[in-house]
Amino acid sequence: MGTDGQLPLRIRAAALSDIGLRRTNNEDAFLLDAEHRLFAVSDGMGGHSGGEIASALAVDSLRQALAALRDQDYLCKATVANRQTILQWLAQTVDSISRTIQLRAVAEPQLHGMGCTLDAVLLRDGGLFLAHVGDSRVYLLRQGTLYQLTEDHSFGQMLLKAGVLTQEEVAQHPQRNVLTRALGPFPNVQVDTAYVEVTSGDVILLCSDGLYNEVSPSQLQHLLEGDPSQAPAALIAAAREAGARDNVTALVFKIDECTVRRVVIGSALVLAALEQSSFFAGFSASELLRVQQIAGGRELAAGELLVEAGQQVAAFFLVVSGQLSIWRNGQQVGIANPGDPAGELSLSPEPTAVSVRADTPALVLEFSHAAVGALLHSDSVLAAKLNAAALKRLAHRLRNVVDVLARHREAGLIPAFGNE
């Protein structure tokens, strides 16, 4: 808290855009504002010069919008609520840029139907804020692993997620690159947002599909491991060597020095706990990341109480590391290991009936009910998945209760229901 003793955030950034070997114009655009820590890549589409105009308009509008960002609260105290303020600003800004592009297309009929993708990344202290629409991508290279932070909004990805086609079949599908979301075609657009804590050594890549369609993930990683200021040129050279059938844009920055020493949100440890959790089964990597934007990390000492029976708890918890025990009326009724929820899962404000205590030093993720509500409101895809998971969990618990009742009934411990 405060700025005392904080290390500076030092980054190196570079970007390049290339027309490629087959196209006659470059419809990609990027924004590299190292001073204000704002970065973006946009890939345009549309007849005449529509694609170029849409992508240029997108990154220009984003740059101009930055003056309206209110980030003082977050810089003062990096709470989940202050983080949400920045994420909501990003999402609203991207949504309003979609309207700006559409108005321009209405005003100039030859630009009718123009649109673009947009990936916008904002760095504040050790927090990386991301907004994403379309099929450009953002990658994070951390300690030898390349993470794709975004999920393509394309027809191919949709078929793959729905389990309709396999990866091989999607690769052959003629409509695989058709966008399911873009800025411009509609006045409003659903924006994916994410938040990741970054640390020294992290490398971030923003790129258009012209790069990742030509260059494999392992080659991307190899080229990102070199000097960040040379990386965009090296990435574009690799795409050209592979045929560069499309425009290619790469924006790279490396965190050389950072205020955050320990990363919780977006870390491999948290990802592993979420993957282990039955609650988040079937979530994609990008969805697991998006869920974390509303979570706070909480460290517990051995013996520390997380929840006390009788308290109103307006949050639910997920164990990331360590072990917790659950108590009711002085009796231990369960334990919670990494991936398990701890405490009440319901979103009702009833006082909790159980106490939860850390048996070992532990790290838990805290999801406040207010933040869950806001996320469900803003991300319909995640909302549907979380509702389905909650229903499945409820059905499972209900089945357990019915089983227990049936066993008690067989043993003659309780009378039968109905009019037997």
Do 143 and 201 form a contact (C-beta atoms < 8 A)?
yes
b/e code 18-40 from CB counts within 10 Å (16+ = b): bbbeebeebbbbbbbeeeebbbb
The residue count for binding Ca ion (CB under 5 A) is 5
H or E element at residue 59 = helix 50-65
Q: What is the largest CA-CA distance in the chain?
A: 82
Site string for Ca ion, 245-274 (x = CB under 5 A): -x----------------------------
Quick check: 366 binds Ca ion (CB under 5 A)? no
| Shortest CB 208 distance to Ca ion, Å | 5
Residue 230 CA, chain-centre distance (Å), reads 28
Instruction: Provide the token pair at 315.
Output: 């949050």
Listed ranges 35-43, 139-147, 225-233, 351-359: which one lies at the site for Ca ion (CB under 5 A): 35-43
Instruction: Report, in angstroms and rounded to the nearest whole number, the Rg of the chain calculated over CA atoms.
Output: 24
The minimum distance between CB 43 and Ca ion, in angstroms, equals: 4
Nearer residue to Ca ion within complex by CB, 51 or 338: 51
Q: In whole angstroms, how close is the CB of 219 to Ca ion at the nearest point? A: 19
- Which residues neighbour 324 within 8 Å (Cβ) at sequence distance 6 or greater? 300, 306, 335, 336, 342, 356, 357, 358, 359, 362, 364
Cβ 136 to Ca ion shortest distance, Å: 8
Rounded distance between C-alpha atoms, residue 327 and residue 177, angstroms: 52
Per-residue x/- track, 369-408, Ca ion (CB under 5 A) = ----------------------------------------
Smallest distance, Å, CB 247 to Ca ion? 6
In this structure, the number of other CB atoms found within 10 A of the CB of residue 162 comes to 8
Q: Which is nearer to Ca ion, 152 or 209 (CB)?
A: 209
**Local structure of residue 3 (DSSP, 8 states):** S
Closer of 213 and 337 to Ca ion (Cβ):
213
Which C-beta is closer to Ca ion: that of 125 or that of 152? Answer: 152
- Of 13, 26, 43, 238, the one binding Ca ion (CB under 5 A) is 43
Shortest distance, position 45 Cβ to Ca ion, whole Å: 8
Q: What is the dihedral of CA 244, 139, 182, 375, to 10 degrees?
A: 170
Q: Measured from the CB atom, is 43 or 151 closer to Ca ion?
A: 43
CA distance 75 to 70: 10
Q: How far is the CB of 343 from Ca ion (least distance, A)?
A: 46
Q: Is 122 or 170 the residue whose CB approaches Ca ion more closely?
A: 170
Q: How far is the CB of 148 from Ca ion (least distance, A)?
A: 17
The footprint of Ca ion on residues 187-246 (CB under 5 A) is 208-210, 246
Please say which residue, 210 or 266, places its beta carbon nearer to Ca ion. 210
Beta carbon nearer to Ca ion, 157 or 199: 157
* Three-class secondary structure assignment of 272-333: HHHHHCHHHCCCCHHHHHHHHCCEEEEEECCCCEEECCCCECCEEEEEEECCEEEEECCEEE
Nearest one of 289, 222, 267, 288 to 363, comparing CA atoms = 267
Residues that bind Ca ion (CB under 5 A): 43, 208-210, 246
